[in-house]
Structure 1
């Protein structure tokens, strides 16, 4: 059997090319992603940046820690506590203390992410003066980079300053340094400070009132110290999802290719059976072919993946998905994982085909007509039915138990795979009537296409299946994200009743003077709100953080329509809280123990309850229960009898130059329309790109494999009087019919998947709108159709160049 296997691989190399390319590409991608994932696991922690030269940094408490029977639970505070004044006084006795106050800055012609610092902290990065000198008066400043030069006067949200020097940029921030006195007035209370003293003495003086940071721990005093870890986590999710889709699609393509190849070789297997080969020998022959292809493809894929991994890492860095220092390290386990996965995929994809090959009867060698009888095997039918039932049961359980689970990214990315696989397995049941419906036009070409696709349903299924998978993936994934975005936009539109929304400058908040001027605008009813958070301990072990808004009840009711299922916004006071149905205790009147945004424990009464919605229905508290929160949004309702056109200019005047923006309701809704997270969007595009690439491989391979079987049929039609153009139209129409059938089934699967999401949104009290990504569906189907028609007609055109009598005499 080994010699038969080798000769088969040599003579039928076209039948195995698609499987080889698919496996090789899959193993290469798995190797690249495995090496990248392994490098994230062993990636070092980023070192300190702003305080790399500081001896000791004391930082205010920024983490809530709650003891539980299973150990302490921690969660970041929305409003970190400043270093207490008494602690600062004790530290000054130990040595020099430099207080750090950071605050956002808006400057004409400057970067959007400018941040202000006191000049005395510049030495701890350390920054070096490139030009000019240090600031000495309150109207002087020093900037990083070359966007301003000494002597230039720039307007900022904190007044006009004169640049007296520039610093060599360090790469981690765009900063403006003021004098210490000016920074103390512009910044908030002391969040952190540098102490020139013995660390042990500092820890003794600080006690439990703050955190003492030394060594690499000083990085925790930098802005967003966890950004690298968050980026690596997001990258892991992206690469893991892409790797899963790669394995899923590759095994699908390999299984489809081997199934079609076995169907083509029925006479060959029948002759071997006639010559005395046992069914087990036939099965071993097919598996040996898969093993040979799998070993060669996996080894080649590992080699390609080793070369591609550094390019992938560089691309991830360029796209901002990985930290700038990220590189691929030396690891061996990704090669083993990718190689053996590729081999397993090859054997798994060929196993079903090998059993069908082993059941080939010797009498098949006597058949002249090639017609598929019973293209759906019992095993395929059972697997498809089981997957279809599993998909239905899982969706039903989610809708009954926790509809919000269907809104999670990991669910709407992974769950559709079940229905897609089930539909692809069961597709032969509906392909014959579907293709007959698509070719019902009364014409000779239509009749031939109808009969050819009906008799060669295996060939049609092999061509339609990858199109189905790709169209269904594109529709389900992009449709889910579009539907969720539309649902969130609908929630925001229904909730916002204010005529105007006032937002501060980037990263800033409104001060008391600005709020007083806004409230003084004639005909305007102002509702200032703040971003905050509350924490609750559920079941005594799980510390749950909920995003919240702090608002004054009366003003809130005038500018916002909260989607309440119980209670009312007017019931909110300093002793109560508005929660949503996700909370374990969410009955009006219940008292819940919470920790506020700065870690203060409180026991509050549930005043009202909101539905879960898409996840944006957070918590509402009063400003008294949001200590440290700065007003970051002001909703403005126009009183009866007041013209909105007269209110908007007055609001802008109250803000002053650079104090923020005033947007009408519709303009604000357009500006804040929810968009897909960039990492999620790139991940979806990567997944769909992989699926489309595999589909192209499968379509090309299937049509090329089928071309050799169609040569005699085309010759007979040519002898019967058909022209070359008619035959080319016939082959193109057959390929186009199969692609259209697969695309229609893909759209059907998309609609079913999105129907589950639509039902979940309806159960969560959201007015959902089913959104189908027609552009992506059309583009995917069009690319598949173009590939199929081209790869079907080109071999046919080459074959028809020979004389029909010679082609008709060809024997398989």
Structure 2
């Protein structure tokens, strides 16, 4: 059989080109995604950056540790504790103490990532002046890099400043020796679970911790874009200081500090840098991104490759009928087809692995340039993705040919010859039952999710993976849907289009399958993100009742004196709030972090409209809390044990319960339970009889604040799609569009080659070349239309599930269908289909003309 398969491939190589190309590309994509996933598992250890020259760094405790029956759970505190005053006094007796502060800076024409610091900390990087001098007054600054020069005047959120000096940008390094960090990524809320002893779950935007280590080499990077102020000005812009540098003996510092704070020396000084876990966090996000994209890529590859192989084998029924007439047994036919698939699969899988090796660095450059990965991120050096991709491709090729070969081996010779032009049953028994089972499974799982945990349908992994099940089910059942979907077009050409499509339902379904996959994925993914974004935006609009929202001009907090001046503005009803977090232990084992806002309970109901499901906001006080329905304990009057943003343990009574919504409701506390978090936002309403414009003018007269109208605040707070989510969706759609486009071309070229005899018969019947071209174009557009309608059907089913989930969690539900994207994808498929169908016909006609036929 192997020798027969080799001769068949040599003689009929054109029939196998489409299968070879589809499988090669699929294996290449799986290889690239596997390499990317392998490279995103570990992060290297960083060396100290801002404090590389600091002798000893003392940092307030920033980790919450909670003992559970299954081990100790840890979480990064939202508000790191300050070093106690008594400890600071003891350290001053040992040597020089310099307090560190960090805060964002907005400057016209400056980088978007500007960070402010007191000038006294520049010596610990160390930063050396390249031009100018150190800042001496409140309106003087020193900048890093080359984006500003001495003498420049910069407009910042806290007023104008003048650049009096510049320092050369410094680079940090990552290195590959031992040590671990912790990655804190996002997996949505969770209830229960065991996990590892140091696991923490973050509700709505949080995630689980995991160890991160790498064997990557050492690579440089810029530390930051910094702006250095005088120490006094920096203290005003950022009142909190969670760490300091001590110029003294480390042993003496440890003795003076005791258990009141952390003492960092050597490589541990990296934990005093801004976001020391950022590389591990980036890789955790990349791991989720490539895991999802890899799953979708594998699905699209397997789907298209299996469909292409099955179509290629199914189109050879005439050959199989002749072999059966010549005496070949069903077993011999099956073995011959499987041997052919094995040869093509082996060659294509090996070629795909080579293609993937060249494509992996390109993907690494793409995610680094897009800001999704650190600059040191590289792909390559792992062996298991090649094994996975090779054997997956080989298995898919054999399995894709197996079903068709079994069917071809079962039919009698006379039946094979009689069925060569017209397909018999549109669906085989296995395809019908498997498709129906998948469709029922999709409906059952969707119903179960809506009844038990509708919020799970709003998570990225769910709304990216769920469409695959429905898409597969509809694709399997598509041959039975061709007849009702093919339109009755006018004229002879319209009649031929319909009859050809209905007579060859398997061919029509095979060509429509890539269009179905592309349209379904584009509509489901883009529609899901747009629907969720619109729901969140509607929540922002509904919940904002303030006439004005005041935020810091620079830094992360409003100065205390500024808040006091805002409260004294005549005619203004002021509600000051602070961003913080609370931690709860659910089911005794899962440490859950929930984002929270601390507020003065009195004016809360006048500036914010919250979706209260039970209880009253007026009952919020220093001994109570407002939670959401997703909490394990959410009955009004119940007491819950929580840890505040600074780790303080409290037992609070539930005063009110909010509807879950899109997960942005959060928790509300009194300012007494803010955990030391500073005020970062003030909502203001003009009192009855007060002139809003006058109130706004007096608010803007307060130094160091930024005043936004309600409309401006809603626009600025409009929840856009997360960058990782957006790029991840585009990555998935890009893979699907490119791959299914090539599959569409392959399938149409194979179908066109098969129908040469049919076109010759039409020419003998008097049909002109132009009419054949028009017929070919009409058939291609009809098949694309069938695939687009089926893809739209899948899109509507998936979006209807998300719409139902939003309604059940009491969120604004507006179903958003991405019509422009669907139109663009369908148009692209139509162009590919028409070109792939017309070119072979035109080439065939040109050859006949040249030969005089």
Asked if TM exceeds 0.5, the reply is yes
The equivalent of 2:587 in structure 1 is: 539
1:491 and 2:508 are equivalent in the alignment: no
Q: Deviations over 1:108-164 (max 9, x none)?
A: 554343333233322221212211333456664422123333345556555665543
- Counterparts in 2 of 1:156 and 1:432: CA distance versus 1, 3 Å: closer
- Counterparts in 2 of 1:641 and 1:185: CA distance versus 1, 3 Å: closer
8 Å Cα contact 2:549/2:708 also seen in 1:
yes
1:693 and 2:741 are equivalent in the alignment: no
8 Å Cα contact 2:597/2:669 also seen in 1:
yes
- Counterparts in 2 of 1:173 and 1:803: CA distance versus 1, 3 Å: closer
Q: Distance in 2 between matches of 1:543 and 1:385?
A: 41
Which runs of structure 2 are paired with 1:594-633 in the superposition (5 Å)?
Answer: 594-633=642-681
Q: Deviations over 1:443-484 (max 9, x none)?
A: 111111111111011110111111111101111111111111
2:223 to 151, 172, 179: 172
Q: Distance in 2 between matches of 1:315 and 1:60?
A: 39
Which runs of structure 2 are paired with 1:14-93 in the superposition (5 Å)?
Answer: 14-93=14-93
The equivalent of 1:763 in structure 2 is: 808
Q: Distance in 1 between matches of 2:830 and 2:684?
A: 54
Secondary structure in 2 aligned to 1:208?
coil
The equivalent of 1:707 in structure 2 is: 752
Q: Deviations over 1:386-437 (max 9, x none)?
A: 11111111111111111101111111111111110000000111111211xx
The equivalent of 1:308 in structure 2 is: 359
Q: Distance in 2 between matches of 1:366 and 1:226?
A: 68
Which runs of structure 2 are paired with 1:284-295 in the superposition (5 Å)?
Answer: 284-295=335-346
- Counterparts in 2 of 1:769 and 1:388: CA distance versus 1, 3 Å: same
Which runs of structure 2 are paired with 1:97-496 in the superposition (5 Å)?
Answer: 97-107=97-107, 109-136=109-136, 140-152=140-152, 154=154, 156=156, 162-170=162-170, 171-184=222-235, 186-364=237-415, 366-367=417-418, 370-435=421-486, 438=487, 440-496=488-544
- Counterparts in 2 of 1:614 and 1:30: CA distance versus 1, 3 Å: same
The equivalent of 1:667 in structure 2 is: 712
- Counterparts in 2 of 1:727 and 1:159: CA distance versus 1, 3 Å: closer
Name the Cα RMSD after superposition.
Answer: 2.2
Q: Deviations over 1:605-646 (max 9, x none)?
A: 110001111101111111111032222222222333334344
Q: Distance in 2 between matches of 1:182 and 1:673?
A: 32
Q: Distance in 1 between matches of 2:162 and 2:734?
A: 51
Larger displacement relative to structure 2 (48-57 or 411-420): 48-57
8 Å Cα contact 1:269/1:360 also seen in 2:
no
Secondary structure in 2 aligned to 1:72?
strand
Q: Distance in 2 between matches of 1:161 and 1:270?
A: 86
Secondary structure in 2 aligned to 1:800?
helix
8 Å Cα contact 2:91/2:256 also seen in 1:
yes
8 Å Cα contact 1:501/1:634 also seen in 2:
yes
1:513 and 2:561 are equivalent in the alignment: yes
- TM-fit CA distance, 1:16: 2.1
Corresponding residue pairs, total: 802
Larger displacement relative to structure 2 (720-729 or 641-650): 641-650
Q: Distance in 1 between matches of 2:299 and 2:380?
A: 27
- TM-fit CA distance, 1:506: 4.8
Q: Distance in 2 between matches of 1:193 and 1:790?
A: 68
Larger displacement relative to structure 2 (369-378 or 643-652): 643-652
Please, which runs of 5 or more residues in structure 2 have no aligned partner? 171-221
Secondary structure in 2 aligned to 1:592?
strand
Larger displacement relative to structure 2 (196-205 or 74-83): 196-205
Secondary structure in 1 aligned to 2:708?
strand
Q: Distance in 2 between matches of 1:177 and 1:801?
A: 74
8 Å Cα contact 1:487/1:767 also seen in 2:
yes
The equivalent of 1:799 in structure 2 is: 844
Larger displacement relative to structure 2 (90-99 or 480-489): 90-99
Larger displacement relative to structure 2 (160-169 or 554-563): 160-169
Secondary structure in 2 aligned to 1:793?
helix
Larger displacement relative to structure 2 (479-488 or 121-130): 121-130
Please, which runs of 5 or more residues in structure 1 have no aligned partner? none
- TM-fit CA distance, 1:20: 1.6
Q: Distance in 1 between matches of 2:481 and 2:504?
A: 14
Q: Distance in 2 between matches of 1:693 and 1:495?
A: 42
8 Å Cα contact 2:627/2:667 also seen in 1:
yes
Q: Deviations over 1:743-764 (max 9, x none)?
A: 0011011101111111111111
2:830 to 785, 788, 795: 785
Larger displacement relative to structure 2 (559-568 or 307-316): 307-316
Q: Distance in 1 between matches of 2:762 and 2:823?
A: 34
The equivalent of 1:651 in structure 2 is: 699
Secondary structure in 2 aligned to 1:82?
coil
- TM-fit CA distance, 1:12: 2.7
Larger displacement relative to structure 2 (291-300 or 456-465): 291-300
Q: Deviations over 1:52-96 (max 9, x none)?
A: 222322111111111111111111111111111222233334444
1:9 and 2:9 are equivalent in the alignment: yes
TM-score (norm 1): 0.94
- Counterparts in 2 of 1:518 and 1:604: CA distance versus 1, 3 Å: same
8 Å Cα contact 1:291/1:347 also seen in 2:
yes
Q: Distance in 2 between matches of 1:155 and 1:726?
A: 69
Larger displacement relative to structure 2 (799-808 or 510-519): 799-808
Q: Distance in 1 between matches of 2:156 and 2:748?
A: 65
- Counterparts in 2 of 1:376 and 1:106: CA distance versus 1, 3 Å: closer
- Counterparts in 2 of 1:280 and 1:441: CA distance versus 1, 3 Å: same
Secondary structure in 1 aligned to 2:346?
helix
Q: Distance in 2 between matches of 1:484 and 1:302?
A: 38
Q: Distance in 2 between matches of 1:37 and 1:603?
A: 43
The equivalent of 2:689 in structure 1 is: 641
8 Å Cα contact 2:304/2:514 also seen in 1:
yes
Secondary structure in 1 aligned to 2:593?
strand
Larger displacement relative to structure 2 (192-201 or 67-76): 192-201
Larger displacement relative to structure 2 (695-704 or 9-18): 9-18
Q: Distance in 1 between matches of 2:623 and 2:243?
A: 32
- TM-fit CA distance, 1:494: 1.6
8 Å Cα contact 1:26/1:342 also seen in 2:
yes
Q: Deviations over 1:265-299 (max 9, x none)?
A: 11211222222322222222222222111111121
Q: Distance in 1 between matches of 2:105 and 2:499?
A: 73
- TM-fit CA distance, 1:577: 0.6
TM-score (norm 2): 0.90
Secondary structure in 2 aligned to 1:67?
strand
- TM-fit CA distance, 1:241: 1.9
Larger displacement relative to structure 2 (104-113 or 313-322): 104-113
Q: Distance in 1 between matches of 2:287 and 2:852?
A: 55
